[in-house]
């Protein structure tokens, strides 16, 4: 019995059975309507993949949002305006008119340098320019001059000075430079190497910045115009109902980088200024020791520009292109599914189409199948079946008509072998 089982296993575990290949049956349907619909789908898919996905959407480019940094410094104008030209200075007039028509009391104006209005100083991700400052003078014991860490050096009294405006803050200039880095694309660029533009709040170009320069220089008034805030006398949305000059204002400077898909090393960028309303932008400067018995601190309201790098850069990538093409191939399969659904469920000749497309195989009985080379006669086959336990005894008979042989077996060859074996047995008996 064990030898017969091993023989059966050897018959099944052949390379032809293990490395078998299955293919799809193709049926040609000569129907102009289905053919025309099929070609319409293919043409639309080709237009979508080639024209839209690859050309317009640049489906061959691997893109990413770059990392970056920016810094800015302020510089005073070469020539300041006279106080008589500034409507918010108390030295020339007691009050000014805000943008909504309301009246606001003026404050004294002072002239400061660029490094004086920047607080905190030094490069960082934002730049603040003071518009209004107010100092507080603290009186302390004179002994603190030698040992200022004594407990008695705590402030005993303070005197608050009147608020002061920084004169002609709109004429100050802001110097900005930035750089970007793509982690996936490995692209590195500085703003001085690229073509830049300044956009207004409607997205229109206000100024073009040519490449090969040290940095970008804008006046504060230009940046206010780009944000749609044309004057610091615009009324703020804080509870105090002051002006932007009085309360301060926050602006986000969006620096958007992108590169040319055909030439990935050619970069360009744009500035977009966004005003964030309803914020009281104020910084507190720590107290400093100003001689015997005096310490002076101040708080400063300012226009603050926060820099944010954004955009999208990319390079040609074969895998990205291949993915776009594969997506188009998936669409062709979807179109085939739609057409198959129409011809098998919707069209008038659906029964004919279904019968031609699908084959149904009926198997009557299938227990154990051995190769025809093993079977030399019906008696040998019965003996083999008895060995594996499918028949109770070798003398039991079995009819060949109850066994269904698959299409890939030559039935006529088996019949000839059986006839030749029976003839030989008859001759031996004679």
Query: What string of DSSP letters covers 353-373?
Result: HHHHH---------S----TT
Indicate the pLDDT class of residue 76, thresholds 50, 70 and 90: very high
In which band, very low, low, confident or very high, does the pLDDT at 396 lie, cut at 50, 70 and 90? Answer: very low
CB 317 within 8 A of CB 185: no
Nearest to 111 by CA among 137, 139, 81: 81
Question: How large is the average pLDDT for residues 197-215?
Answer: 89
| Contact status, residue 171 vs residue 77, Cβ threshold 8 Å | yes
CA-to-CA distance for 64 and 183, rounded, in angstroms?
8
Mean per-residue pLDDT, 415-425: 44
Position 405 confidence tier, pLDDT thresholds 50, 70, 90: very low
- State the pLDDT at residue 379: 45
- Residue 219 is predicted with a pLDDT of 94
> Going along 4-114, which residue ranges are E strands?
61-64, 67-75, 95-97, 103-105, 108-110
Given a cut of 90, is residue 325 above it in pLDDT?
no
Q: Please answer whether residues 138 and 158 qualify as being in contact, where contact means their C-beta atoms are separated by less than 8 angstroms.
A: yes
Look at residue 303 and tell me whether its pLDDT is greater than 60: yes
Per-residue confidence (pLDDT) for residue 352, from 0 to 100? 79
Establish whether the linkage from the previous residue to 386 is cis, with ω within 30° of 0.
no
Determine contact, residues 174/339, Cβ cutoff 8 Å.
no
Q: How does residue 408 score in pLDDT terms, banded at 50, 70 and 90?
A: very low
Mean pLDDT of the chain: 76
pLDDT band at 172 (very low <50, low <70, confident <90, very high): very high
Say yes or no to pLDDT of 23 above 50: yes
Inform me whether the pLDDT recorded for 335 exceeds 90: no
> Which pLDDT band, with edges at 50, 70 and 90, does 189 fall under?
confident
Mean pLDDT of 305-320: 87
């Amino acid at each position: 019995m064990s030898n017969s089982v091993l023989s059966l296993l050897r018959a099944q575990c052949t390379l032809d059975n293990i490395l078998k290949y299955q293919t799809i049956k193709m049926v040609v349907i000569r129907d102009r309507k289905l053919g025309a619909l099929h070609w319409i789908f293919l043409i639309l898919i080709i237009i979508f993949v080639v024209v839209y996905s690859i050309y317009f959407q640049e489906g061959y480019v691997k893109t990413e949002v770059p990392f970056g940094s920016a810094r800015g410094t302020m510089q005073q104008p070469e020539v300041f305006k006279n106080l008589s030209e500034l409507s918010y200075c108390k030295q020339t007039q007691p009050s000014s008119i805000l943008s909504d028509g309301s009246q606001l009391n003026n404050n004294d104006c002072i002239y400061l340098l660029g490094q004086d209005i920047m607080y905190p100083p030094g490069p960082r991700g934002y730049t603040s320019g003071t518009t209004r400052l107010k100092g507080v003078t603290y009186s302390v014991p004179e002994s603190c001059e030698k040992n200022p860490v004594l407990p008695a050096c705590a402030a005993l009294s303070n005197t608050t000075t009147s608020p002061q405006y920084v004169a002609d803050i709109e004429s100050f200039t802001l110097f900005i430079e930035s750089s970007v880095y793509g982690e996936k694309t490995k692209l590195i660029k500085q703003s001085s190497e690229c073509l830049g533009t300044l956009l207004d709040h409607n997205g229109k170009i206000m100024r073009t910045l040519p490449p090969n320069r040290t940095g970008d220089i804008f006046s504060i008034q230009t940046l206010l115009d780009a944000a749609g805030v044309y004057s610091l006398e615009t009324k703020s949305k804080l509870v105090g109902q002051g002006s932007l000059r009085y309360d301060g204002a926050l602006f986000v400077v969006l620096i958007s980088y992108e590169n040319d898909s055909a030439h990935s090393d050619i970069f360009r960028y744009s500035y977009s200024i966004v005003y964030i309303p309803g914020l009281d932008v104020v910084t507190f400067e720590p107290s400093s020791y100003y001689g015997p018995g005096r310490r002076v601190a101040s708080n400063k309201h300012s226009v603050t520009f926060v820099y944010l790098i954004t955009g999208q850069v990319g390079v040609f990538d074969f895998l990205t292109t291949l993915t776009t093409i594969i997506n188009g191939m998936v669409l062709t399969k979807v179109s085939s599914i739609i057409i198959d659904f129409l011809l098998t469920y919707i069209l008038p000749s659906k029964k004919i189409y279904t019968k031609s497309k699908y084959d149904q195989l009926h198997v009557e009985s299938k227990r154990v199948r051995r190769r025809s080379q093993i079977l030399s006669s019906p008696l040998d086959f019965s003996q083999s079946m008895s060995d594996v336990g499918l028949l109770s005894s070798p003398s039991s008979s079995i009819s060949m008509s109850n066994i269904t042989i698959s299409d890939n077996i030559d039935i006529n060859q088996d019949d000839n072998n059986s006839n030749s074996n029976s003839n030989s047995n008859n001759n031996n008996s004679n």
